[in-house]
Amino acid sequence: MKKKTIVCFGPGPMFKGGIANYNTSLAKAFDKMENTDVHIVSWTQQYPAIIPRDFIDRKSKVNQLAGTGIKVHYITNYNNPLSWHVTVKLIESLKPQKVIFQWAIAIQGMPLGYIARKLKKNKEIEVFFDLHFVIQKEGSALDNFYTKKGIRHADAYVVHAYKTADELKQNFPKKQFEVLERGQKQSGKGIKVLKLYHPVYDMFQPDPEFDVKKAKKEMGLKKHVFLFFGFIRKYKGLHNVIKAFARLAEDRDDVSLLIVGESFWNTLDNKKLSTRLKNATFGLAKKVFLKKQDDERNYQPLSLIDELGIKDKTYIVNDFVPNEMVHKYFQVSDNIMLFYLTATPSGIESIAYNFNMPMLATRVGHFTETIKDGYNGYLAEPENITSMTEVMRKAIEQPIPRENVAETSKDMSWTNYAKEILQ
């Protein structure tokens, strides 16, 4: 049987964050299949150089590609159109049957639009776009322009929610799409859109030897622990999590809030000239293209902890967590907090599934599709602190059985996901 060559285009394993983990996990799923030759073609930097933060994972020690045959090519540079051409030539030389682009930020539009358009001319290559969003959270005119430029040249798409499929249709009203669930066959009446839920992150495994009681004692955690995990960004609603928890803590002494995550914009040394130049350039771009309320560089939700008098009931790790340490914070916690303002499929939700952890989320984005209220989690009304507090209280008084969470996610494997794309 002839080998299938597959290219996963997106940030390689040297980078931080969910998209890098996602692209690596997908590549590993393809690599496990028989007769596959898998390549990751990556950016040389995860985002354009003007964005003032560090995206390289300098802490994780585990080699995510150990034991695989995956080859990684760090070759594509946002700022260098010549590298876009070189990327096309490299991918063509690999003679892949499928190229899967990770679409996660609108500013990717120019390079990915160019690369995809060139590859699509080769009838031997099927070009996929794995859409983590279509309409970006800020929704600026420039973002919409880049998005249309970036994703239009595709033979097929993957979405993680019906909401994303609807946004795709809105952006390209003249095109016909056929949305397919897992296992459904294409009729040929439109461009294929595979609707597949975000797989469970199996790279983050519970440690059976981990002493939960000891860890909770060391961190000063109480009986009921609510976890916020991941990059601290405004759309994730940490400020609302803190406010809701503060209300809960007014009449309960047995609760803790565990906040683990790096402040998104605070990873560079502001004393350096290069950082100041990046901040100035990026700030100017933000003023031109974004509404004032969408500039989140001064977003400081952690200051609320002192203001609300809950410092003794919170434990904060305001830093990037190495992959091999992720399990620690999930294993000491009872519920994951997803009180987002707006949501595309959440990698944090996918990590939580691997720990059979109940979800507390707002009714935004795809959460109403994946979280069954009262079964594998509880849903609160967005921007409603009273509703959020009630959901947290309910999680204590009527705890969600963890076997329900396991049942919900049993088919959300990377293997199933990869098989659907290869069909």
Q: Which CATH class is domain 4-200+411-422?
A: alpha beta
Contacts (Cβ under 8 Å, ≥6 apart) of 135: 144, 147, 167, 170, 171
Do 16 and 57 touch, CB atoms closer than 8 A? Answer: yes
For residue 75, give the nearest of 103, 95, 94, 52 by alpha carbon. Answer: 94
Q: 31-50 burial, b for 16+ CB within 10 Å, e for fewer? A: beeeebbbbbbbbebbbbeb
- Residue 272 CB neighbours (<10 A): 10
CATH of 212-263+300-409, one of 3.30.70.20, 3.80.10.10, 3.20.20.450, 3.40.50.2000: 3.40.50.2000
pTM above 0.85, yes or no: no
Strand boundaries in 115-176, DSSP class E = 126-131, 156-159
**Distance from C-alpha of 339 to C-alpha of 347, rounded to nearest angstrom:** 14
For residue 101, give the nearest of 157, 146, 45 by alpha carbon. Answer: 157
Domain 4-200+411-422 shares a fold with domain 212-263+300-409: yes
CA neighbours within 13 Å on the CB side: how many for 223? 7
Query: Cα torsion at 365, 370, 374, 375 (round to 10°)?
Result: -170
**Distance from C-alpha of 279 to C-alpha of 285, rounded to nearest angstrom:** 10
Q: What is the pLDDT along the chain (423 residues), one digit of tens a residue?
A: 678 999 999 999 988 778 899 999 999 999 999 999 999 999 998 666 555 455 676 777 778 888 999 999 999 998 899 999 999 999 999 999 999 999 988 888 999 999 999 999 999 999 999 998 887 765 567 778 888 999 999 999 999 988 899 999 999 999 999 999 888 888 878 999 999 988 988 788 899 999 999 999 999 999 999 999 998 988 899 999 999 999 999 999 999 999 999 886 555 445 655 445 545 445 545 554 444 444 566 788 999 999 999 999 999 999 888 888 999 999 999 999 999 998 766 789 999 999 999 999 999 988 998 999 999 999 999 999 999 999 999 999 999 999 999 999 888 889 999 999 988
Do 220 and 365 touch, CB atoms closer than 8 A? Answer: no
Strand partners, 37: 5
Domain residue ranges in the chain: 4-200+411-422, 212-263+300-409
Contacts (Cβ under 8 Å, ≥6 apart) of 236: 228, 230, 338, 339, 340, 341
Phi, psi (deg, nearest 5) at residue 88? -60, -50
Task: Name the strand (E) or helix (H) holding 323.
Answer: none
